[in-house]
Amino acid sequence: MPLRAWQLILLAPLVFSVACAGPRPTTPRVDSSTLTDTGFQFYLNEVDLVTVDEAYRAMLILADGEDTSQNFSEREQKLFERGIARSAWELQPDHVVDAGSVAYMVCQVCDLKGGLNDRLIGWSGLGDRRYALRELIYRQMIDESVDYQYMTGSAMFALFRKADDLRAKKGLYESKGVDLTDEGDRDAAGHLIVPDAVPGGPSNTPTDE
């Protein structure tokens, strides 16, 4: 049965995303795999586009304060097991990561549930990354964008900083396994907690030996 015009329009972003996904067109001056976790975070602020492997490393640093993985396969497995990333995405390590995938991972690491529609549709796998990005835009954690847009290093660094700040405000570094509802995202006056845009280097970093 032929698709209707409006269905083709809705599918266009997906087709664009799949067709244009590929390796980073430029080679960074520094090999990020040689950097410490601290150096890696500063590297993100300078690189033009972020790869899937780099995004996975950033998520583990955000979640655990460090990345002890030896390679991409280890990072991927850890994120899959914890539900931070999804195998259904079939992301390749050297390909540029999209904003939707990063948004979904940040929502998982920061324990952001979203609204009812997001929970029923987004988190079930139907538009998961699109709804996650919408949630971060609503919380002013990322600029207005589309889920298939490539993630730049500066945007990744800024999001990392805000996610780090939000995790600290929600007490996710001090306690684990706490069931946080939307009330945990609001202050005493009932206002939604919006992470401060703090300039400078990352705060969620282990001390180098």
Asked, for residue 126, whether it belongs to a domain, the answer is: yes
Helix, strand, coil abundance in the chain, percent, nearest 5: 50, 5, 45
Number of domains the chain is built from: 1
Q: Is residue 198 part of a domain?
A: no
Please report, in tens digits, the pLDDT of each residue of the chain (209 residues total). 444 443 433 333 433 333 346 999 999 999 999 999 999 999 999 999 999 999 999 999 999 999 999 999 999 999 999 999 999 999 999 999 999 999 999 999 999 976 444 544 444 455 789 999 999 999 999 999 899 999 999 999 999 999 999 999 988 876 444 444 455 566 667 666 666 644 455 545 444 44
Q: Most distant CA pair in the chain: distance in Å?
A: 62
Q: Does 196 map to a domain?
A: no
In a domain, 199, yes or no: no
DSSP string, 46-65: T-SB-BHHHHHHHHHHHHHS
- Element holding 78 (H helix, E strand): helix 72-81
Q: Give the containing element (helix H, strand E) for 42.
A: helix 37-44
Residue with tokens 């939000």: 166
CA distance 113 to 40: 29
What is the predicted pLDDT for the residue at 185? Answer: 62
Whether 13 maps to a domain, the answer reads no
Answer yes or no: is 7 within a domain: no
Q: Is residue 206 part of a domain?
A: no
Query: Is residue 3 domain-resident?
Result: no
Residue with tokens 């995303």: 17
How many whole angstroms separate alpha carbon 33 and alpha carbon 57? 10
Domain encompassing residue 119: 28-185
pTM for this predicted structure: 0.72
